[in-house]
Amino acid sequence: MTEVGDGEDLLRPLRERIIEPRNLTMRQVANRSGLPVAELREIYAALGISEEELHGESAVEEAVAVRVARGALPLPAVVRLARARRMAASQVAAADVAAVRHELLVPLRDAGVDVPAVLVDSATRLWPMSTQLFANAHRRALERLLSLSVAADAVREPEAGLPLAVGFVDVVGYTRFSAMVDPEGLTRTLEAFEQHVLAAASRSRELSVPKFIGDAAMLVATDTVLLADALLDVVEAVPELAETPLRAGMSAGEILPRGGDYFGPPVNLAARLTDYARPQTVLADEDLRTVLEPHFSVRRISRLRLHGIGIRRPLVVRRPEAAEG
């Protein structure tokens, strides 16, 4: 079996193949891009980039792109956008590393194959795919968000929240389940969960999945009925999640978008309702009865004391045919 040296020896061929030399200072990048060095430092701090990580011409191109964005947005907004991109890129990179390690490195190492060579080859092949897919995925997500009919409201009242429906869905009994299965089984479950949620959300450009939080996901929509319909699809039993059924909660109202996330009382209420929903059930805020009743079977349940919210009587939402059955 090939002996693997220290991390620096293993990564050196990778750096030489796909990463440019670190040959510029922060001031040089600022001067060549036309961006004030103080602003560049603040934006790079949000990106988690130190001066030792400036890579040749790509650093200059990156700074030029930031300067163009500064022409449209104030510095605090650009810093928030940089921070959001840092978090998204970290998730993508972690997924890339996990895929290469699980599918290639461990089996090939056990077979006695030259691991550093495989790592360099895999990373070189992943590099263009990752950058292109990330760019296109961002474009599609942006297009979906810009298609929301609330855009006009946001322009008219820029300080107000957006009128949106918000829902959460999570895996029932995930903590207990995670203590009983191996990491590979957990990975399969979470991947099936994410694919299932994304498939339900892909039905309409008015639906979006802003984030996954471990065994939970947030969904937002401009149409309350559309969101309820999608959540009912999500919580239906599927073979891939037979041992870990899903549940959901939803609300609607003025929601504040910030840094790629959403905040406000309706978000908190939807999250609390999800905690109380039974397996394969959608709980909705009682205020949505008028909107949902023409399309679904709705039934009030007993009063619940929701932490930080108060007493509510949520609605169990079902499809009419399911309620009749």
DSSP secondary structure code for residue 148 in this structure: S
What is the pLDDT at residue 5? Answer: 42
> Strands 216-221 and 162-171: what pairing?
antiparallel
Domain boundary among 66, 97, 131: 131
pLDDT in tens, 99-119: 666 666 667 666 666 666 666
Considering the domain architecture, whether residues 211 and 313 belong to the same structural domain is answered as: yes
Q: How far is CA 35 from CA 28, 55, 59, 78, 199, in A?
A: 10, 17, 12, 13, 42
Considering the domain architecture, whether residues 320 and 235 belong to the same structural domain is answered as: yes
How would residue 180 be classed by pLDDT, with cut points 50, 70 and 90?
confident
Domain span at residue 216 reads: 151-324
Whether the CB-CB separation of 255 and 164 falls below 8 Å is answered with: yes
Has this prediction a pTM greater than 0.85? no
Considering the domain architecture, whether residues 39 and 103 belong to the same structural domain is answered as: yes
The reply to whether 227 falls in a domain is yes
Considering the domain architecture, whether residues 254 and 119 belong to the same structural domain is answered as: no
How would residue 6 be classed by pLDDT, with cut points 50, 70 and 90?
very low
The reply to whether 139 falls in a domain is no
The reply to whether 303 falls in a domain is yes
Domain boundary among 131, 160, 175: 131
Considering the domain architecture, whether residues 226 and 256 belong to the same structural domain is answered as: yes
Considering the domain architecture, whether residues 112 and 156 belong to the same structural domain is answered as: no
pLDDT in tens, 35-50: 898 888 888 888 777 6
Considering the domain architecture, whether residues 160 and 305 belong to the same structural domain is answered as: yes
Considering the domain architecture, whether residues 285 and 213 belong to the same structural domain is answered as: yes
Nearest to 44 by CA among 24, 71, 72: 24
Written as six digits, the tokens of 205 are 């450009």
Count up the domains in the chain and report the number: 2
How would residue 2 be classed by pLDDT, with cut points 50, 70 and 90?
very low
Considering the domain architecture, whether residues 184 and 241 belong to the same structural domain is answered as: yes
Most confident of 39-53, 164-178, 288-302: 288-302
Domain boundary among 131, 164, 197: 131
Considering the domain architecture, whether residues 88 and 167 belong to the same structural domain is answered as: no
The reply to whether 2 falls in a domain is no
Considering the domain architecture, whether residues 97 and 206 belong to the same structural domain is answered as: no
